[in-house]
Structure 1
Amino acid sequence: MSDNLEISTMLFSLFGGLAIFIYSMNLMGDGLQKAAGEKMRRILEVLTSNPLMGILVGTLVTMIIQSSSATTVMVVGFVSAKLMTLPQAIGVIMGANIGTTVTAQIVAFNLGDYAYLITAIGFILFFFFNKKIIKYIGQTTFSFGLLFVGLNVMSNAMKPLAQSEVFTDIIYCVSNNPILGLIVGALVTLILQSSSATTAVLLNLAREVGADGQALISLQGALPILFGCNIGTTITAILASIGARINAKRAAMAHTIFNVAGSILFMLFLPYFAKFVAFISPKGQEIEVVGRQIANAHTSFNVINTILWLPFVALLAKIVTFIVRGEEDTEENRVLYLDYKILNNVAVAMDLATKELTRMAELARKMMANAKKAIINSDTDAAKKVHEIEDIVDMLQTEIIKYLSTMLSQSALTDRQSVRLAGLMHITNDIERMGDHCKNVAELAMEKIDRDLPFSKEAISDLSNAFNKLNDMVDHSIQSLSEGNISLAKKVLAEESEIDKLETDLRDRHIKRLDSGLCNPASTIMFIELIHNIERIADHCNNIAEAVLEDLENNSASPGTDSSPATDIP
């Protein structure tokens, strides 16, 4: 009975320590993202067609967010949204594999003796300081110390296990059968959904002294398990690609081929790779250096595998295109950019929402072009097109608001992000209202056609001129939204005043035409309603510009000046 209780206690301690480790990794990634500032969301935008740049960016992003799986899921989402090409995605995925090895290097330093000191310092920085940047550094430091607390708990649980003959026999079978080790590494990573966690457990096991007085797992015994970790981590990308567009599936397949092919190749040269790792690692007794050797093996495997594949990125893209066949759809009647799988990365998710908003605004712009055509040329087909596009705009409004609301409920937003999210919600409604006014114009056009109401040449000229000025204003507001352009946003504000003045002038000119008998009195109400709708569209463009300006002005403020009270706990 006591033996069973002791085994249960050890297992609970082991899994408890593992839970603390995984939680601290996620918390540290969140703190690093916040400390890096809002500009981190722009990192992926520097990508070019050069795969080397993609590798560097993938490495950097993964080092910041502390998860190759999160980077890969993000990449799959970007490919699905057509924000990234397949070759670019392959480069970033390769870099993500390198970036994730940083965690193993940190763990290999074995700072367990300082775990509680680091955790205490992090807690003080987070809890007693109000400046956001210090709080974020505190969160990162706290989680860094907590990471080693989890490792200490796991290590204490493993010490008695290492002396168990049954456990030692199991480890001996796994470490002396490379194929079995590969399978175990893959399965454990599949379950934990984190190659870093599997590697941390492997490092801790290797540091324990077995019943024979030697390291529980040798370097050569640990390598197949390590290779299996790289295979197991590909399942995250595969799951993320389910239901995504075909190029996203190809990106996930590229990740799988890259890791599986690399693992098989290194298995064939296992003894030589083990000698290489031992050569570049510190020298000494195995029990003292095996942790550093495993960390170096993890980094070396991913760096060498990336170097080997780098010249063949284009070939890999062709291979996955051949394996995952099909054509990219051109469907416009659905969401293109919103991806719920990356809501945990708020900055990137907001950028995707902005791109969907820009697309929604461009559709409203098409509605306006067709509304103008309908009223000026008495074109019934153009009027029908306005109604067709309006259904898409309404759908996008619903989906964008739902996406932003989910983000608000699932994520802890910074003050800066809260302001931006509120602005995006207001912009969504403004764009939808622009579409409504375009629909009003189309309905007035149909009424004009049905009732055969005549408009004078002067009235048609005035309306055409008003639509042209409005067209410029809408274009400027869309461009300011998509590019974050301050000068264009300010230009929209000035143009709105011109449209207000133009509405008054057009009304006065129409009254004069009525007095002189140039215009039909029956068309007066319709003309007034038309110019009112034009003015209302301009008002919504103005609202969009104001939201963009507020966002950019908040973004220019330094996060270090924020003195809001500390209310959240890491």
Structure 2
Amino acid sequence: MRDIFANFELWTGLLGGLALFLFGMDLLTRALKRVTGDRMRALLARLTENRLKGVLLGAGVTAVVQSSSVTTVLLVGFISAGVMTMAQSVAVIMGANIGTTVTAQILAFKITTLALPMVTLGVAAMLIAKDRVWQEYGQAVIGLGLVFYGMAVMSDAMSPLAQYPGFLSAMASLDAPVLALLVGAGFTALVQSSSATTGILIVLAGQGLLSLEAAIGAALGANIGTCITALLAATGKPREAVRAALVHTLFNVAGVLAWVWFIPQLALVASAIAPAGDSARGLAWAHTIFNVVNMLVLIGFTAPFARLVEWLVPDRPDVVDAEGSPKFLDRALLDTPAIALDAAAREIARLGYRVAGMVESVLPVAIEGPRVKLDALAATDKPVDRLHAAIVDYLGAVSLRRLSPEQSSRLVRLISVANDIEQIADMVARDVVISSQKRLDDRVLVSTATRRVIARFHAEVAAALHGAIEAFETGDAERARQVRGMKGTMRAMGREIALHGIERLTAEAPRRVQTYTREVELVEILDDIFRLTRRIAREVAEAEGANGTLPASEPPPG
């Protein structure tokens, strides 16, 4: 065994091949995430009415993007937005496990001779193609070529190991199922790629260095190791992310514990399906059989799975909201711009509902509030400013990624809506406060009749703002057009208030001029808020749902 550790060429070949494999997988996954992100987002949002469709969709999406973690990221966003229930996501996660078997099936075919031609083709596409999408496809082909080339390098480096009795003895010890399982789990947790573990196992099995049963045991362990990676990635993330990672973990661990005692039988079945003597293909088929049978057995228990993880990871009070800290702006989403923009939209909607609450509660303070309440009103803008700054910073980070024209347009719309919402908050916390301080300085008392007139106008403005934010969150262009259609009503109410003010100007009451000035000032501020509200609604209406703010979802709570 000492000769093995001293063999420089063996280790550089093995580690270099593994590095090429992982780099290729990263290139492949990143390119496919960018080029298919919008379409996968739309499919996942719409095609999960039943468990079977969810499974098929999870398998298809994962097979395309070559990463179950990407599928999980999509699911977390949709659960947060209310587009998908936890029970629906369980079926998609089960399907994602099946999608990962496509990688093993591809690697099991001895097509490493295509590696360098694929790299050449991919580089040519990136250099020649003018269209960004074709450039991304070129990068994906380069990634796949590097995956195959890494496999070839590892295979060549490992071929001398057949001459080392010590190594063969170590590999023979993996016939103990528990030991093989632990080795597979540990290595996968170390390299953070179950595909890399599967690739190495296919190389070892294909060269006869590892028995099929031992390779299956290690592959089962890889299913647990990839869950460790997912759980670590979910640490500190929103509860939805933790629950999705936990579903993946429970599903995989339950399946491994059920199968670990039947590895010989699984090996027999896989060998019967694969070409005679082809252990690499046998391992790929065992991997597929394991995941498909697990899905068939557990597909009827998606609802109990969902209830279990919701019990294990209960909701907690939204303590960060009072601090103005972001809830959905996960930096891990930046590599998938379509989903990152969804996250920003959810955060903007959250900001919008907060500011809508400020507008709804502002009138009593504006008309009769003492200075202490005005100070409290002014302070409500600080969390809004912090959250707005976090949103703009996040969207700035998204803008540095390679975006499609549609994504770029959507990013501009999101920034515009966020800025309009923040400006409304400024009007409440700054303009209303300044006007009310003048009211107190002038010792102005607003009459009961005037309060009623202004209150009706304020109620319409508050309702319009809430409607605009709701339309933004749900991508409801028709709701947005209804808000914009309120312009005529608001103009009529404005004229009514103006006539009432002129009548009151001649009334026998002290400080009528100062009172009139403050009343007009408050109405003008409310009218400016409505103007910004219509601008928010216009952004939604013009998007027409095609490239809207969020996938269509259930109406939000009030």
TM-score bracket for this pair, using the shorter chain length: 0.7 to 0.9
Residue number in structure 2 paired with 1:522: 514
Residue 302 of structure 1 and its aligned partner are, at CA, apart by 0.8
Partner in structure 1 of residue 28 of structure 2: 28
Shift of 1:11: 1.5
Q: CA deviation at 1:188?
A: 0.6
In structure 2, the residue corresponding to 1:90 is in which secondary structure? helix
Question: 1:310 matched to which residue of 2?
Answer: 299
Residues in 2 aligned to 1:220 and 1:278: alpha-carbon distance in whole angstroms? 10
Displacement of 1:500? 7.0
Deviation at 1:348, TM superposition (A): 1.2
For residues 188-210 of structure 1, give each alpha carbon's deviation from its aligned partner in whole angstroms, at most 9, with x where no partner exists: 100111111110111112222xx
Q: Are 1:265 and 2:258 matched, yes or no?
A: yes
SS in 2 for 1:269: helix
How many residue pairs align between the two structures? 542
Report if the CA contact (8 A) 1:77-1:339 is conserved.
no
- Residue 355 of structure 1 aligns with an amino acid whose one-letter code is R
CA displacement at 1:224 relative to structure 2: 0.3
Is residue 190 of structure 2 the alignment partner of residue 200 of structure 1? Answer: no
Please say if 1:125 is aligned against 2:125.
Answer: yes
Q: Name whichever of 156-165 and 546-555 sits farther off.
A: 546-555
Deviations 1:357-403 (A, max 9, x none): 11211121111111134446769998687556544433321332233
Equivalent position to 1:223, from 212, 216, 235: 216
Residue 105 to residue 497, structure 1, CA distance change in 2 (3 Å):
farther
The amino acid that maps onto 1:204 is: V
- Determine whether 1:338 maps to 2:326: no
Distance 2:97 2:491 in 1: 56
- 1:568 corresponding residue in structure 2: none
- Partners of 1:47 and 1:88 within 8 A in 2: no
What is the CA-CA distance between 1:538 and the residue it aligns to? 2.5
1:68 aligns with 2:68: yes
- Partner of 1:144 in structure 2? 144
Aligned-partner Cα distance in 1 for 2:398–2:242 = 25
Could you tell me which amino acid in structure 1 is paired with residue 454 of structure 2? Answer: L
CA 1:125–1:379 in structure 2 vs 1: closer, same or farther (change >3 Å)?
same
Alpha-carbon distance in structure 2 between the residues aligned to 1:537 and 1:157: 69
- The one of 524, 528, 548 equivalent to 1:532 is 524
Equivalent residue letter for 1:295? A
Read off the aligned partner of 1:364 and give its amino acid letter. Answer: V
Which residue is equivalent to 2:423?
433
Q: State the one-letter code of the partner of 1:345.
A: T
Q: Tell me how far 1:229 sits from its aligned partner.
A: 0.5
**Match for residue 404 of structure 2?**
414
Residue 370 of structure 1 is matched in structure 2 by: 361
2:328 aligns to what SS in structure 1? coil
Note the C-alpha offset of 1:443.
Answer: 5.7
State the alpha-carbon separation in 2 of the partners of residues 236 and 47 from structure 1: 28
14-23 or 516-525: bigger deviation: 516-525
State how 1:44-193 maps to structure 2 within 5 Å.
44-46=44-46, 50-75=50-75, 85-174=85-174, 176-193=175-192
Which residue of the other structure, out of 455, 468, 475, is the alignment partner of 1:484?
Answer: 475
Aligned partner of 1:563 in structure 2 is none
Deviation by residue 1:51-87 (Cα, 9 ceiling, x = unmatched): 4443333223322321123333554566577765443
CA contact (8 A) 2:184 2:197 kept: yes
Tell me how far apart the structure 2 counterparts of residues 102 and 399 of structure 1 sit (CA, whole Å).
Answer: 39
1:424 aligns with one of 392, 406, 414: 414
**Whole-Å Cα distance in 1 between the matches of residues 230 and 5 of structure 2?**
39
Does the 8 Å CA contact 1:367/1:390 hold for their aligned counterparts? no
Deviations 1:259-308 (A, max 9, x none): 122112111111111112122x2332x1xx22221111111111111211
Of 255, 273, 282, the residue aligned with 2:274 is 282
How far, CA to CA, are the matches of 1:131 and 1:422 in structure 2? 22
TM-score (norm. length: structure 1): 0.84
Alignment of 1:233-272 (within 5 A): 233-244=226-237, 248-272=241-265
Instruction: Specify whether residues 345 and 325 from structure 1 end up closer, same or farther in structure 2 by C-alpha distance, changes over 3 A only.
Output: closer
What code does the residue aligned with 2:461 have?
A: L
**Structure 1 pair 489–87 and aligned structure 2 pair: CA distance change class (3 A):** closer
Report the AA paired with residue 521 of structure 2: E
Matches within 5 A, 1:390-409: 390-409=381-400
Q: Cα deviations across residues 172-198 of structure 1 (Å, max 9, x unaligned)?
A: 222x22221111100110011111111
Give the drift of 1:470: 2.2
TM-score (norm 2): 0.85
* Identity percentage of aligned residues: 33
Say if 2:45 and 2:83, in contact at 8 Å, map to a contact too: no
- The 1:17–1:356 alpha-carbon spacing in structure 2 relative to 1, beyond 3 Å, is same
Per-residue CA deviation, residues 12-48 of structure 1 (Å, 9 max, x unaligned), is: 2222222222222222223323333623223332365
Q: Is the 8 A contact 2:363 2:455 kept in 1?
A: yes
When residues 143 and 247 of structure 1 are mapped into structure 2, their CA distance, relative to the original with a 3 A threshold, is closer
Q: Does 1:329 align with 2:317?
A: yes
Which one-letter code corresponds to 1:54 in the other structure?
G
Distance 1:427 1:303 in 2: 45
Three-state SS of the structure 2 residue aligned to 1:233 is helix
Cα distance in 2, alignment partners of residues 70 and 148 from structure 1: 22
Closer/same/farther in 2, CA of residues 379 and 103 from structure 1, 3 Å limit? farther
Q: Superposed, which structure 2 residues align to 1:543-558 within 5 Å?
A: 543-548=535-540, 555=547
Q: Distance in 1 between matches of 2:390 and 2:535?
A: 21
Q: Among 454, 464, 469, which residue is 2:455 paired with?
A: 464
Question: Does the CA-based 8 Å contact 2:34-2:337 persist in structure 1?
Answer: no
8 Å CA contact retained: 2:24, 2:147 = yes
- Give the CA deviation at 1:472: 4.3
Residue 445 of structure 1, CA deviation: 4.8
